[in-house]
Amino acid sequence: MQSEQGSWKFNFEGPILTDCLMIIALRSLNFEEEEIITQLLDKIVSIQNENGSWSIYSDEKNGNLSATIQAYTAMLISGEYTRSDQQMQKAEAFIMQNGGLAKAHFMTKVILAINGLYAYPSYFYFPMTYFLLPPFIPLNMYKCSNYARIHMTPMIIAMNKKFSVKHPIDSSFYTQQPHGNWFRENRDDYWGNYFIEEMKSIALTPLRLHKAGYKSAEKLMLERIEENGTLYSYASATFYMIYALLALGYEKHHPIFQKAIKGVLQYATKTRSGLHIQNSPSTVWDTALLSYALQEAGMSVNHPTILKANRYLLQKQQFNRGDWIINAPEANAGGWGFSDSNHFVPDNDDTGAALRALSRQRKTSEKARNAWRKGSNYLLAMQNHDGGWGAFEKNAYHPILAYLPIENAKDALIDDS
């Protein structure tokens, strides 16, 4: 199963979110990719549960409200399904029986609002001057996980601008429901209120600084576009970036969008259920784990399989300076990332996996020895103040962020040890 390049390529199958976002984005940009849309729809419809729902996890027998809303919305926006179709009626019944749109996850509400199907919170405005804060300010953007940073930035732009795409669909199912509280989790506590008060103080700055904040947020996204056109190599972040740039005035036919969609389409893979858009292929991770596992099982480090795999890993070591340099200015590059398309977003578990794969070969190969030394030095430089390691960056876990009233804030927003 090993490729000629030495890597192993397996499906990194996640929930249907990326499949749904692909359909919606293609329709939003008026891209004619009918075969892709048809294949994605076929897959989505084929895994609908008997009760009309869709699940995120295989053992989620009763279905998932947010996943069901995502699937229903993608099917409706595709133009291939209407409210009168049996699959859609069953989905509507499930959604209503489980609390309706108001009970959906925050990120699902963002998707709906961006597509004109859910009202933005009238009170919401995130101060764009936040994107001008220097790294030494305690609540700056580099004190949260880079995964959150790269997803929340385009979401904030779209929400601030109240941006929405209009689709020629029957949206009556959405309009007849109450559009309730955007943030389901109550965090009426000291630290949550402290953060809100800090944001209010940041908001009370001249308009010109807010305009500069938009420019800074736009620059943040543009400078983090990967070689294949995706944002940070994530399909999900790329879709949100598209809407943020549209909100900032970019035309639908802009070359950035052309390249971004082409890059995400490279993540398409066949699964047992049908076509799936991976959020970020796992090629480096899989190859590092398999090389090490085969060596642990007794395969010689000089076996052609191991030599090819490690040659691939050596090519994927990263020497571009990324966001990690902000919290670890003393570190030198040398880590590994997760996917084949990732060139400047190393992470600690992939780096550790690659080092294990190369640990035996460093004794016989100077090239492997040099790579191993640079990689291990990088990993040591990423150690947090508390002695542990996060997933991506060093000390990117301001505890106050865990108290924000967003679902899974602790898991999603901070990169603690």
> Annotated catalytic sites, by residue?
349
User: Which pair of structure tokens corresponds to residue 216?
Assistant: 């800074």
**Radius of gyration for the alpha carbons in the chain, expressed in angstroms and rounded:** 22
Backbone angles phi, psi at 271, to 5 degrees: -120, 175
Pairwise CA distance, residues 24 & 2, whole Å:
34
Q: Decide if 163 contacts 114 (C-beta within 8 A).
A: yes
Q: Could you identify the residue written with the tokens 């308009």?
A: 207
Mutual orientation of helices 146-160 and 207-222 as an angle, nearest 10°?
130
- Secondary structure of residue 210 in the 3-state scheme: helix
The amino acid sitting at 137 is I
Partners of residue 270 on adjacent β-strands: 275
Q: What sign results for the dihedral spanned by CA atoms 101, 107, 108, 113?
A: positive
First to last CA, the chain: 35
Q: Comparing C-alpha atoms, which of 148, 138, 124 is closest to residue 200?
A: 124
> What's the CA gap between 260 and 262, in Å, rounded?
5
Alpha helices (H) in 52-116, listed in sequence order: 65-78, 86-97, 106-114
Type of residue found at 269: T
Question: Three-state DSSP class for 268?
Answer: strand
Query: Among residues 108, 89, 92, which one has the least CA distance to residue 100?
Result: 92
At residue 35, what are phi and psi to the nearest 5 degrees?
Answer: -65, -40
Tokens standing for 218? 């736009």
Question: What amino acid occupies position 365?
Answer: S
Q: What is the DSSP string of 295-310?
A: HHTT--TTSHHHHHHH
| Residues 382 and 389: beta-carbon distance below 8 Å | yes
Phi first, then psi: what are they for 269, rounded to 5°? -145, 150
